[in-house]
Amino acid sequence: MPLLDILFVAPPQRAFLGYIVLLSGLCWLSGLILRQRGVLGTAFGFMVWAAASTLALLVLRQFGASINWFIPLSALIAVIGGGVLRLALPAPQPQFGGRYSAMLIVIMLALVIWVLRMIQLDPSASLSSHHGWYPLYIEDSFQLGRFARIEDFAFGNGYLASIFFNLDLMGLSVLGKSLGVFSAWQAYSAASILAAILSIGVLAEGLARSRPALLAYAGLVLALLAFDFLYRTTLARNWGDALLFLPGAVMLVTMTREDDLRTRALWTAAAAIFMVVGRHYGAFYAGMIMLVGYGLVWSHQKRWDLTPWVVIGLLLVVLSVRDIACFLVPPSPYYPGSKLIDVAAPPKNLLLQGTLNDLGILTDGVLARFWVDWRNIYLLAGIGLIVFWLRNRYLGKAWLALGLAPFGLVLLPQLLQYLTLYRSSPPYSKAALISLHMFSWYPAYVLAHTRWSPPWRTGRCRAALTVLLVMAGVGGVVLVRQGQKAGLDFGKGPNAVLEAAFDRYRQHNVDLNIAERMRVELTPEQFDEVVDRPILYLHYEPGLALRNFIGGHLICDLDFWGPTVHQAMAEVSSLREVVARLGYPSIYFSFPDPGLYSRYYPEIWSRFATEVLGLHDADWIEHKIVYGKVVLLVPRRPADAAPPACAAFSTNHRP
């Protein structure tokens, strides 16, 4: 396949690119309403449309209204929301200089992100359960004609249902699907790609006046994509939570622009309110940023006017209304998360280890060699900034405060962590993604803030050539480094290397490979019969994306850790009877440890663990589909057994 086809022209790539272009234009227009241009304006427009489409989804779902109202309602909310923000926010000062070099950097980094994203074309719940949930929820909702609610799902309001409350890019994914030319997965993936590109591009644009800073930033982005798992997975592999890292990037720009303090504070607060669309704790972040921002404006400028702050606060309340209701009357033990905190809260020593990982002092719990790693260079840059100020006191304390202000985003997740005493994983925390870009951007910002320049002078053409050469060199190192780690042979040419990279990622996509094994090992009639059955999930990440490749309806599937299955367990004495009562669903062991979630239901697991672990050899299993350590078991259904009924659908769709 020609290189252009692999990267841009083949059907999936063409669909991603098409929605990115359409969505970018829409977001750019919304940015103009806010009087912001360039990448920053497009990024603000993206957040406005993400919030507007999410609100439209929530309203229509609450009232059970037709999904056909989604586009006009989203557009109405986006226009009203953008207009309200325009009235509340002061006009930003125009930023001049360096746009040629900045746009060159943005384009080249966007191409790098694009190539890395194109390697993983298919949804992979091995990476994120959202790859299964978003497209399958949206496709089922469109077949229903309305947005599905928890009570529509056969699995009930259990552990799996907690994913129902995650929104992030759900609204923009529905928007793409509503246009009628993109699938839900294509829309979701395209929106995620655009969010990553905008987050990197807005920071490059903010450094436009300093070519040394631009070069440093580009080099650090490429180095972190090559060597840092968290940075690469978030930006180059669609890990989710775009409405955390994108507002984080925008806030880094707005809080350090050459505007007066009040303008910087208000625009930063405006960007912060969109984080609640990504995660419910985004409301906490936004509230803290607003309090600190107003406090600084009041103490330094004695400006008492509360009007714009009240307007932004009211917008935050509107965006948070679903989460406020959930806090007052929790819809599930797993959302907002009381059971997670009670059962899965880590010991305090792991909280400290997690903090050190978030700050970049540790990587996966290990101290870097010589104590310096790509992700903690920003800390050295902060120390360097303080030393520079100590030697140049005439710059004043305000200059130092401006230079250190971005560390506020680093500290907010730690404040949240120690207030709740909860952290999902010691090596990383998604709550810290708001400061993800500090690793790559802050050292470059220090160069710009101190107005450092190399000892030589260059004209525009020579500077552009320098940018190209350095970027090409570092980019080549990144590609070779990642390719060698993946076992790729660069001697065979770029087409072969990309095809080999595609195959490598497909090999790690267990849901995709189980689907392919089903097509090989089952007859077409058997395949269709298995698709028509519900799937009983014991694990979701991987696992939840299987129906992206075989068809059927997630809405009809079952959760081993959910109330529907537990009710059946209470009425019988053996797992075989449970399976019969549930309509003989296929049992999906998508993760080597089937009892990973057992800590939430120890009594259930202790009762059925022996039978679950022995299912692979049970005589009532008709088909066993195996890929590596992943197994799909299909029980033998008696000839007189009624086919499983799905309350929501009478027929299944095929991919």
**Nearest to 375, CA basis, from 482, 227, 247:** 227
Burial 384-403 (b: 16+ CB within 10 A, else e): ebeebbeeeeeeeeebbebb
pLDDT digits (tens, 9 = 90+) for 556-581: 999 999 999 999 999 999 999 999 99
Whether residue 532 sits in one domain with residue 418: no
| Long-range contacts of the stretch 57-64 (C-beta < 8 A, 24+) | 57/147, 57/167, 57/170, 57/171, 57/174, 58/167, 58/322, 60/146, 60/147, 61/146, 61/147, 61/148, 61/149, 64/146, 64/149
Give SS3 for 158: coil
Whether residue 181 sits in one domain with residue 56: yes
Q: What is the pTM of this model?
A: 0.94
The verdict on residue 335 lying in a domain is: yes
Give SS3 for 624: strand
Return the structure tokens found at 231: 């940075």
Write down which residue in 433, 450, 467 finishes a domain. Answer: 450
pLDDT digits (tens, 9 = 90+) for 201-257: 999 999 998 988 998 999 999 989 988 999 999 999 888 899 999 999 999 999 999
The verdict on residue 147 lying in a domain is: no
Tell me, what's the pLDDT at 245?
98
pLDDT digits (tens, 9 = 90+) for 44-57: 999 999 999 999 99
Tell me, what's the pLDDT at 486?
62
pLDDT digits (tens, 9 = 90+) for 247-259: 999 999 999 998 8
The verdict on residue 588 lying in a domain is: yes
Q: Check whether 468 has a pLDDT greater than 60.
A: no
Write down which residue in 450, 467, 483 finishes a domain. Answer: 450
User: How high is the mean pLDDT of the chain?
Assistant: 90
- Per-residue pLDDT band at 420 (split at 50, 70, 90): confident
Whether residue 471 sits in one domain with residue 440: no
Return the structure tokens found at 271: 């960007």
Top pLDDT among 649 and 137 is at 137
Whether residue 477 sits in one domain with residue 442: no
Residue 148 to residues 136, 141, 437, 648: CA-CA distances in angstroms?
11, 5, 35, 9
Residues 432, 436, 442, CA angle at the centre, nearest 5°?
Answer: 125
Tell me, what's the pLDDT at 647?
65
Tell me, what's the pLDDT at 454?
66
pLDDT digits (tens, 9 = 90+) for 140-160: 999 999 999 999 999 999 888
Whether residue 566 sits in one domain with residue 418: no
Whether residue 305 sits in one domain with residue 433: yes
Burial class of residue 429, CB neighbours in 10 A (0-12, 13-18, 19+): buried
Which DSSP state fits 6? I
First to last CA, the chain: 24
Q: Check whether 456 has a pLDDT greater than 70.
A: no
Tell me, what's the pLDDT at 472?
58
Whether residue 335 sits in one domain with residue 228: yes
Average pLDDT value for residue range 174-182? 97
**Nearest to 44, CA basis, from 250, 301, 299, 336:** 250
Tell me, what's the pLDDT at 463?
57
The verdict on residue 65 lying in a domain is: yes
Phi/psi of residue 123, nearest 5 degrees: -65, 135
Residues 260, 261, 265, CA angle at the centre, nearest 5°?
Answer: 120
Distance CA 629, CA 458 (A): 58
Whether residue 363 sits in one domain with residue 459: no
Return the structure tokens found at 564: 């529907």
Count structural domains, the chain: 3
> Do the beta carbons of residue 242 and residue 285 sit within 8 Å?
no
Average pLDDT value for residue range 595-610? 92
Whether residue 103 sits in one domain with residue 27: yes
The verdict on residue 136 lying in a domain is: no
- Per-residue pLDDT band at 455 (split at 50, 70, 90): low
Tell me, what's the pLDDT at 40?
96
Whether residue 174 sits in one domain with residue 89: yes
Whether residue 498 sits in one domain with residue 519: no
> Do the beta carbons of residue 276 and residue 58 sit within 8 Å?
no
The verdict on residue 138 lying in a domain is: no
Residue with token string 């968290």:
230
Quick one: how far is CA 283 from the chain centroid?
17
Residues 228, 231, 236, CA angle at the centre, nearest 5°?
Answer: 110
Give SS3 for 634: strand
Range of the domain at 324: 3-131+166-450
Q: How many CB atoms lie within 10 A of CB 3?
A: 12
Q: Under 8 Å CB-to-CB from 210, ≥6 apart: which residues?
A: 98, 444, 447, 448, 451, 452, 453
CA dihedral of residues 470, 472, 477, 478 (deg, nearest 10): 110
Q: Give the 3-state DSSP-derived string for 491-558, with helices as H, strands as E and coil as C.
A: HHCHHHHHHHHHHHHHHCCHHHHHHHHHHHHCCHHHHHHHHHCCEEECCCCCCCCCHHHHCCCHHHCE
The verdict on residue 149 lying in a domain is: no
- Per-residue pLDDT band at 434 (split at 50, 70, 90): very high
Write down which residue in 419, 435, 450 finishes a domain. Answer: 450
Whether residue 424 sits in one domain with residue 483: no
Q: Check whether 164 has a pLDDT greater than 70.
A: yes
The helix-helix angle for 184-206 and 229-236 (nearest 10°) equals: 120
The verdict on residue 156 lying in a domain is: no
Q: How many CB atoms lie within 10 A of CB 162?
A: 19
Tell me, what's the pLDDT at 650?
56
Residue 363 to residues 181, 228, 369, 406: CA-CA distances in angstroms?
42, 9, 11, 21
Q: Give the 3-state DSSP-derived string for 427-477, with helices as H, strands as E and coil as C.
A: CCCHHHHHHCCHHHHHHHHHHHHCCCCCCCCCCHHHHHHHHHHHHHHHHHH
